Amino acid sequence: MEKVLGIGGFFWRARDPEALALWYQQHLGVDGVPSDYDTLPWQQEAGTTVFAPFKHDTTYFDRPEQQFMVNFRVRDLDAMIAQLEAAGITVTLDPESYPNGRFARLHDLEGNPIELWQELAAKG
């Protein structure tokens, strides 16, 4: 069976796409779409990607009308939280450490939930 190689993009509606793209660039380091085809878009590091549909009535995404949530892998969750809080962004750290890592939650400029995940070192 032929399989996809990975996620090639993430697209969603925004009230102010330019401001939201700038917010992601400034606070999370995710570059926006280049203005030409010669410039490479944001390049992520290879790693785990969880692809998981949730039940329609889940409360995990905060708001009932929220249809998705982005989870970003981070190298140092504590450093990322400190950086975001220094920029005035509220971040909630999950106090529990899970077998697959540590998590924190924040919201972007338009109120979309974002989860940060510091994955545990791969078992070898």
Q: How far apart are CA 40 and CA 45, in angstroms?
A: 14
Query: pLDDT per residue over 47-81, tens digit each?
Result: 889 999 999 999 998 888 889 999 999 999 999 99
Handedness of CA 11, 13, 19, 23 (dihedral sign): negative
pTM attached to this predicted model? 0.88
> Where do the structural domains in the chain lie, given as residue ranges?
64-124
What pLDDT digit, counting tens, does each position of 9-31 carry?
A: 899 999 999 999 999 999 999 99
Write down the architecture of domain 64-124 according to CATH.
Answer: Roll (3.10)
Does pLDDT of 124 surpass 60?
no
The mean pLDDT value of the chain amounts to 92
Question: Given this model, what pLDDT does residue 122 score?
Answer: 52
